[in-house]
Structure 1
Amino acid sequence: MPAKKAKKATKKAAKRKSASAVKYSYDFGQKTDGSSKLRELLGGKGANLAEMARIGLPVPPGFTITTEVCTYFYDNGRQYPKTLEKEVKASVAQIEKEVGKKLGADKNPLLLSVRSGARESMPGMMDTILNLGLNDKTVKALASESGNEAFAYDCYRRFIQMYGDVVMGVQAVNENDHCPFESCLEKLREEAGVKLDNELTAEDLKELIKRYKAIIKKRTGTAFPQDAYEQLWGSIGAVFNSWQNERAILYRQKYGIPAAWGTAVNVQAMVFGNMGDNCATGVAFTRDPANGEKVFYGEYLINAQGEDVVAGIRTPNAIAQLKEEMPKAHADLEAVRKKLEKHFKDMQDFEFTVENGKLWMLQTRNGKRTGLAAVRIAVELVKEKLIDQKTALKKIPADSISSLLVAVFDPAAVKKAKVLTTGLPAGPGAAAGKICFTAPDAEAVAAKGGHAILCRVETTPEDLRGMIAADGILTSRGGVSSHAALVARQMNKVCVCGASEVVINYANETLTIGDKTFKNGDDISIDGTTGEIFAGAVDTAPSEVDQVLNGKLKAEDSYTFQMYDQVMKWADKHRKLGVRTNADSPDQAASAIAYGAEGIGLCRTEHMFFEGDRITFMRQMILASDEAERRKALKKLLPFQRKDFNGLFKAMGGLPVTVRLLDPPLHEFLPHDESSKRELANSLGVDIDVISNRVHALHESNPMLGHRGCRLGISYPEITEMQARAIFEAAAACYKLKKPIKVIPEVMIPLVGFADELKNQVAVVHRVAAEVMEKKKVQFKYLVGTMIEVPRGALTADEVAETAEFFSFGTNDLTQTGLGMSRDDAGTFLGKYKDLDILPQNPFASIDAAGVGQLVEIGAKKGRSTKKDLKLGICGEHGGDPASIEFFHSVGLDYVSCSPPRVPVARLAAAQAALK
């Protein structure tokens, strides 16, 4: 949740709490207090129950205890507001009035359900109680009045089991202890000689209830409560307590739901799908949630309660079959389906019960869906004139668009494959190939037309050649912001990181997972969307979108592409932020342009030094004893760099290209193992001690904070000079083509913290530019700017802007330096920080708006205080994160830059930010 929204919500809640009379219970039914507009207060379920009641759908009456009570509950030692008890009794009385039944009565007893209801749907994460109000007396009344003794005692045993588990804490003692209630039920079914619960007789169920009560007494030392109001308050407390259970916390962390939001509690009159064969219960969707097709989709069970459908004890029937078994109920559901979509203007996921032939609606919510379904539903709702373009754009989670672009495993092949283990899904898609432990191995496989999976404990820039050659990357260490993940995403490579069960032995060239050992050259498959790792080669297929973009499929033959293209056109129409890409090669640039990139926001030149003989010349330069030797080696590198930039400029066709000068410390280019050192010594004709001594001399205690970025250029201006010359000579060549390309290079000086650092480097760049233009007899425009990636650079941005012509915020390093956290090492404690809500999300994946974000905002404001029209961009990994993009839009940046496959996500997220 963005900081501004959280602040606004807190103020709103504080204002309500300061009011003299705060309402904590909202009724729905014949008397309805709430509506869908009160989602923050009533939670999604409560707000939608009230809304369904308002539009005349058959909803059992009930009431919602607000999310503010949950906040109060946790802020006040798990106590309730003083007025809540009175409000709850009044709301129960309203239900009693509407249904003509009374809670706890010996005749015509009212039974209730108690369910959670957070603002955002969290299916299955919190606790539910059904059939509340049953006791040894009311069960007899229910049996008599329903004329169905088995039904009544079935409800009672369900209630005792739920209440005993959720409220009284009767659970398995350890992982070897089966659920005591389920064990008891299984044993009774065996004794009765039946397979299904609904085959148990009333006498069987009475015996089961006795055994259930005995379990509760033995395990808790307390008898099952007979007072209905004691049951009600116990259930309400259990739901509030479940907001902080382990599965709810994990779910909130995964989907970024703040703990401060709390949950509401919904109390509702029971209706019964288990009274006989003219009763049913089910879950349905107004459209197919997997592919978005407009078909009635769902499941139901005859003579069952809601939990039976999801528990898997009985196999549910497809909703289409209900037309044969209960034609009236099916027709009623079809009418409800249409009314729900027309009113809520989105695909709905709803629960229903049929009691003696009458349909009741128990819940509706915007249905969870795949990325493909999200896009299809939004596009088709516009075609059906239920929503407009702007609404459609806001309904599609920006990350959903990426699921239309990635290669996938063939579903039939996956069913036959064996999952070995699971790591972190770091680069979406599917890849299968030969296990390769080194970059040369991966290159050798690729050179023969094969497919490689580069398997490393963790990757470094030295592995880049192998990463380029491989179809996928697998590491046993590192997180989703590790080197492997960052580069993989930029190159659109499938990547699984941090697969801790994977043991890689470089010496033996083996990869071991459990009792399975694989050798160099064996086949393996990885799914970067799920993190799964498979034995053998699982067949893959490219996405339809990529097939169209690559000319292998006609657009008119792919409905998926047509939907993708429509959404992208809408996004471009409404967004304000520009979207560039991070790319180092013509292939990456071409891929990004196909995805809609408007330029290159970051070309990392260090990646260009690892191909072919270049690394040798680079190492010669590093090992040089004086400037003359360095210049000699740099002269050999110049043609390679010039050729690279020329290819990049041509691929971009005149779109802006921001080139970052050399950034990493020099030791990263040198070998560190003895065999590689010896190989380098032999190739250079020097003693191995020369190599070892230089490696030792360049070693830094903390290279993140050491001799890198502009500090290298200041120490060795000849490096800056060579790179600038390569850039400008490549640009000059583009101007002299038969069809000139008017390149405007943007030269970016990295790691500037002092204005004079930038002045020093800019002087070198201007001098070289003048020399090249004079020599080549051509005039061209260019910009020189800086990467704001250390706090001092942001805090003194007004001074830096006197020289800079643009800023690009390097939020990867700005996060590291701003928080004092290493993105590669933070994984050891980030999990605990998220558990404790110290950090709501990984700050390397989504910008820390309240902290690091302030540095960006300060840098932007100060920079523009000096130069009103200063161009501002961001080229860190956050440039492809939707939540971060919303923040960058709010502080007035001109563009974001991200890896090629994230470009469509950024385009959509930028439009959503503008529409908010």
Structure 2
Amino acid sequence: MAVQETVERKYVYDFAEGNKDLKDLLGGKGANLAEMTNLGLPVPPGFTITTEACQEYLATGREPDGLADQVAAHLAALERAMGRCLGDPDDPLLVSVRSGAKFSMPGMMETVLNVGLNDRSVVGLARQAAGSGEQADPAGADRFAWDSYRRLIQMFGKTVCEVPGEEFEHALDDVKRARGIRDDVELDADDLRGLVDAYKKIFRKHTGRDFPQEPREQLDLAVRAVFDSWNAERAVLYRRQERIPASLGTAVNVVAMVFGNLGPDSGTGVAFTRDPASGAQGIYGDYLANAQGEDVVAGIRNTIPLQELERLDKRSYDELLDIMARLERHYRDLCDIEFTIERGKLWMLQTRVGKRTAAAAFVIAGQLVDEGLIDLDEALHRVNGAQLAQLMFPRFQLDHEFQAVARGIGASPGAAVGQVVFTSARAVELAAEGKRVILVRRETNPDDLQGMIAAQGILTSRGGKTSHAAVVARGMGKTCVSGADALEVDVPARRFTVAGQTVAEGDVVSIDGTTGNIYLGEVPVMPSEVVQYFEGTLDPERTDDALVRAVHRIMGHADQRRRLAVRANADTGADAARARRFGAQGIGLCRTEHMFLGERRELVERLILARTDDEREKALAALLPLQRADFVEIFREMDGLPVTVRLIDPPLHEFLPPLEQLAVNVAVAQERGEDVAQEEALLAAVRRMHEENPMLGLRGVRLGLVIPGLFAMQVRAITEAAVQCARDGVTARPEIMVPLVGAVQELETVRAEAERIIAEVVGGSGVEVLIGTMIEVPRAALTAGQIAEAAQFFSFGTNDLTQMGWGFSRDDVEGAFFWRYLELGIFGISPFESLDRDGVGRLVRIAAEEGRAARPDLKLGVCGEHGGDPDSVHFFHEVGLDYVSCSPFRVPVARLEAGRAAVETTGSDSR
């Protein structure tokens, strides 16, 4: 009988066994230490325990079988390489135990330094550090050794055994107070010996045992602590925020200690191969002589610029610059480097592709193309839409004079300053006078749209990132801070209070839509050069601005590579014009209901209150020329480009006063004996049309079927506007979109009437009008093959498709429970911000496939909020849509991401 051999799983790798491409297995830090080792750079020897070991440990609660033996074997190899043994009393090897996940999570997980020190090896460390001959420094070495020991007990106690860190800090403060000194570096060896004794007592009090003296036990416990730190509260929160999968786990790096605190010829530092803030080339970094890395992080001593190292230790400085250049050429990117100098010997402790600002990302990508290190496809891969969006918002120029009085949710980025107003009408009035205003509300609603358009920014005391205020503001590229619950907003009194201060209408405030900060008074604002470029007021060929030149170059390549067209959601001529300047290739959503607000609301009321056909026809006749003029303006701005016009979608009662308010007004007027016949008629109509859940009631196509003449008037206005434009030499390409269709029969009924009107109006003008539908009801997605028989195009309304797919209302649920779902990890991100690929995305995929199967020439687009979300754009590219549509401000973001989707997809089309 054959004997089946069991192959032991490999959990531990020496640095020489790995490389930078093994980040999934070795974590970012381990993979890069391995890469530097293989490049022949001076890396302290060590080994990496894999992420797979961590995953198994977290799943079972114990170390994987065989891990202890593998660690022992690699530790023995490390001891041979260093010529020392871990914790040897005479000549000890000490190691650091550091976390290292695939993705950088700075400060989120644990590290333990000086592992291997105990009551005996501390003496050997002092002897080792003292040196010999003229350079011998027994006193300094003694201090160094005992300081290292107290650091181990403090770090080990807090990290491994959950001893409260403040107890160690209090003991340290007591010693400094007794000595009359302020800085740790002023403590001598005797002070530190006493501190070690004090730390041991603290350790025993909280753990019930003595500080472990066995070096291998220290190592094993430290490794487990690093594994456990993967699920520490701060690490979980960080992963959730950065969308890092919880299943990855962390690797653990065990590295021979090198010391930067052995005297003036030692030190530690951080270096960047380019400026991570601006992308400028040069030498950037900090150095601290006679210090360990944690001293730099703790900020207990002031660092010096990296250039000063040339004066202190030119040989190490020159070697460091050579290594920095080698690493940047090798990684073909900005590198972030940590190093230590131990008595004139340079050691590389870490490198990684460095984090950078959005501006630096574009500038560096352009530089590396110029240097021949990467091509334009790779440059496009290295930037993203979120970074571009950051560059498009104005920002505050803050100094110490400005302190935030409150903080809300940064719902739509940017910096906005203006006089406080509390009503939409007042915002419009002051803006017409040329004044800047901030619209302050408890929450906004569709009636506030004109005020939101007029305002520089919107501030609400309720709501979150997907509230009405947030969504509309983002769509307009308008700064918004929502959910600032520290504000007590009193709209009737036209004031709000915050931090004990009252802010009245007309007072100036400044709001930061990125941080959520709210300031009293005017904070200086810096405009975005990138927006000036997109607006056409800054010529990229004639500017010295490296950022604008880089953005221009990369955006040009994105446009060449992308397959997806990018349209804009625009309801006015001004919005259409801006969208075109920003690169839109048409309008994917023109919301006609926005044309019925303001002064036209009275005409809509007349339509709703009409009791006879004649009254209804008069109301529609009054609306027709106004609608036609709106469309003429938009078609002219979009000359030659398609314009998708959605017929009226929301429930009609949104154009009427709220039921409760109207009932109170009528009752009060009756009490006074006033004539309220008209108000009573209005109240009766509001009661007749009132719905408990209007999002699922009489709206969209249902309105067109129930209110005679409504859709017909809109179709006529659209077609007459297109014909008028044709006569004026403007090419109008209207596409009429029927909303909320759930059955093909609905679309067929509306289409039959629309085609009759179009044929009557178009005549010999040559105008062509397409008719399609908005796929926003799950049933429509599931019966797309049938609906495609009657539709020339589909546009996915992913906002409503998300609401109906999940079964909740966007306006209601965020404040109710979204925070808890995000906290529990049920949502990684709100499904209204980024498309739910598994659920709603599957509906989109089904509809696209079945629609095209029934009608191969079916045009497919998306016009929901997700059309401008970077991650969602990649999905829409993948499923084969023809275009995405988003707010004008996000058009450049969608263009960039469509290009990135093309270069990142194997076999993608390029134009």
Which bin holds the TM-score, normalised by the shorter protein?
over 0.9
Whichever residue aligns with residue 207 of structure 1, its letter is G
Conserved 8 A contact 2:363-2:546: no
Conserved 8 A contact 1:681-1:688: no
Q: Distance in 1 between matches of 2:94 and 2:338?
A: 18
Q: Distance in 2 between matches of 1:265 and 1:676?
A: 68
Conserved 8 A contact 2:536-2:581: no
Gaps of 5+ in 1: 1-17, 173-178
After TM superposition, the structure 1 stretch with the greater mean CA deviation from structure 2, 558-567 or 53-62, is 558-567
Whichever residue aligns with residue 704 of structure 1, its letter is M
* Counterpart mapping for 1:101-140 below 5 A: 101-140=84-123
Any runs of at least 4 consecutive aligned residues in structure 1 with deviations exceeding 3 A, and if so which?
18-21, 548-555, 673-687
Whichever residue aligns with residue 886 of structure 2, its letter is C
Whichever residue aligns with residue 199 of structure 1, its letter is E
Conserved 8 A contact 1:811-1:877: yes
1:839 pairs with 2:839: no
Aligned to 1:176: none
Aligned to 1:356: 343
Aligned to 2:528: 543
1:754 pairs with 2:739: no
1:554 Cα offset (Å): 4.0
1:702 Cα offset (Å): 1.1
The partner residue of 2:700 within 680, 704, 709 is 709
Q: Distance in 1 between matches of 2:676 and 2:820?
A: 51
Aligned to 1:150: 143
Change (3 A) 1:202 1:626: farther
What SS does structure 2 have at the residue aligned with 1:116? strand
1:675 Cα offset (Å): 7.7
Whichever residue aligns with residue 842 of structure 2, its letter is Q
What SS does structure 2 have at the residue aligned with 1:504? strand
The one-character-per-residue Cα deviations of 1:418-440 (angstroms, maximum 9, x if unpaired) are: 21222222222110001111101
Change (3 A) 1:822 1:406: same
* Counterpart mapping for 1:490-889 below 5 A: 490-550=475-535, 552-555=537-540, 556-557=542-543, 558-611=545-598, 613-672=599-658, 674=661, 686-737=677-728, 740-774=729-763, 777-827=764-814, 828-889=816-877
After TM superposition, the structure 1 stretch with the greater mean CA deviation from structure 2, 329-338 or 549-558, is 549-558
Q: Distance in 1 between matches of 2:699 and 2:891?
A: 29
After TM superposition, the structure 1 stretch with the greater mean CA deviation from structure 2, 48-57 or 514-523, is 514-523
Whichever residue aligns with residue 773 of structure 1, its letter is V
The one-character-per-residue Cα deviations of 1:22-76 (angstroms, maximum 9, x if unpaired) are: 2111111xxx111111111111111111111111111111111111122212221
1:410 Cα offset (Å): 2.4
The one-character-per-residue Cα deviations of 1:119-170 (angstroms, maximum 9, x if unpaired) are: 1111111111111111111111101111111111111111111111111101
Aligned-residue CA RMSD (Å): 2.0
Conserved 8 A contact 1:579-1:599: yes
Q: Distance in 1 between matches of 2:614 and 2:142?
A: 99
Change (3 A) 1:626 1:290: farther
Conserved 8 A contact 1:112-1:130: yes
Change (3 A) 1:231 1:614: same
What SS does structure 2 have at the residue aligned with 1:36? coil
What SS does structure 2 have at the residue aligned with 1:530? coil
Whichever residue aligns with residue 914 of structure 1, its letter is A
What SS does structure 2 have at the residue aligned with 1:824? helix
Change (3 A) 1:695 1:681: farther
The one-character-per-residue Cα deviations of 1:620-640 (angstroms, maximum 9, x if unpaired) are: 222223443233222222222
* Counterpart mapping for 1:156-305 below 5 A: 156-171=149-164, 179-305=166-292
1:387 Cα offset (Å): 0.7
The one-character-per-residue Cα deviations of 1:162-188 (angstroms, maximum 9, x if unpaired) are: 11111110126xxxxxx1212221221
What's the TM-score, normalizing by structure 2? 0.94
After TM superposition, the structure 1 stretch with the greater mean CA deviation from structure 2, 824-833 or 222-231, is 824-833
Whichever residue aligns with residue 120 of structure 1, its letter is F
The one-character-per-residue Cα deviations of 1:165-213 (angstroms, maximum 9, x if unpaired) are: 11110126xxxxxx12122212212222322212211111111111111
Conserved 8 A contact 2:535-2:578: no
Whichever residue aligns with residue 566 of structure 2, its letter is V
Gaps of 5+ in 2: 131-140, 905-911
1:91 pairs with 2:65: no
What SS does structure 1 have at the residue aligned with 2:21? helix
Conserved 8 A contact 1:478-1:497: yes
Conserved 8 A contact 2:8-2:66: no
Q: Distance in 1 between matches of 2:361 and 2:663?
A: 50
The number of equivalent residue pairs is 882
Aligned to 2:328: 341
1:648 Cα offset (Å): 0.9
Aligned to 2:137: none
* Counterpart mapping for 1:14-93 below 5 A: 20-28=7-15, 32-76=16-60, 78-93=61-76
Q: Distance in 2 between matches of 1:779 and 1:686?
A: 50
Whichever residue aligns with residue 154 of structure 1, its letter is D
Aligned to 1:10: none
Aligned to 1:422: 407
Q: Distance in 2 between matches of 1:460 and 1:502?
A: 19
The partner residue of 1:100 within 77, 83, 89 is 83
Q: Distance in 1 between matches of 2:100 and 2:70?
A: 19
Change (3 A) 1:35 1:526: same
Aligned to 1:456: 441
Q: Distance in 2 between matches of 1:834 and 1:453?
A: 30
Q: Distance in 2 between matches of 1:238 and 1:779?
A: 75
Conserved 8 A contact 2:535-2:582: no
Q: Distance in 2 between matches of 1:372 and 1:256?
A: 22
Whichever residue aligns with residue 608 of structure 2, its letter is I
1:786 Cα offset (Å): 0.8
The one-character-per-residue Cα deviations of 1:871-912 (angstroms, maximum 9, x if unpaired) are: 111111111111111111111111111111211111111122
What SS does structure 2 have at the residue aligned with 1:534? strand
After TM superposition, the structure 1 stretch with the greater mean CA deviation from structure 2, 823-832 or 18-27, is 18-27
Conserved 8 A contact 1:681-1:691: no
Change (3 A) 1:607 1:222: farther
1:466 Cα offset (Å): 0.3
The one-character-per-residue Cα deviations of 1:403-461 (angstroms, maximum 9, x if unpaired) are: 2211122245xx42121222222222110001111101111110111001111111111
What SS does structure 2 have at the residue aligned with 1:787? strand
What SS does structure 1 have at the residue aligned with 2:607? helix
After TM superposition, the structure 1 stretch with the greater mean CA deviation from structure 2, 46-55 or 527-536, is 527-536
After TM superposition, the structure 1 stretch with the greater mean CA deviation from structure 2, 430-439 or 509-518, is 509-518
1:586 Cα offset (Å): 1.7
Q: Distance in 2 between matches of 1:478 and 1:768?
A: 44
Whichever residue aligns with residue 524 of structure 1, its letter is V
Whichever residue aligns with residue 752 of structure 1, its letter is V
The one-character-per-residue Cα deviations of 1:233-289 (angstroms, maximum 9, x if unpaired) are: 111111111111121111111111110111111111111111111111112211111
Q: Distance in 1 between matches of 2:381 and 2:721?
A: 42
Residue identity (%): 51
Q: Distance in 2 between matches of 1:717 and 1:149?
A: 95
Q: Distance in 2 between matches of 1:623 and 1:362?
A: 77
Q: Distance in 1 between matches of 2:207 and 2:625?
A: 79
1:839 Cα offset (Å): 2.2
What SS does structure 2 have at the residue aligned with 1:58? coil
Q: Distance in 1 between matches of 2:641 and 2:667?
A: 39
Conserved 8 A contact 1:677-1:691: no
Whichever residue aligns with residue 913 of structure 1, its letter is A
Q: Distance in 1 between matches of 2:731 and 2:286?
A: 61
Aligned to 1:369: 356
Conserved 8 A contact 1:249-1:835: no
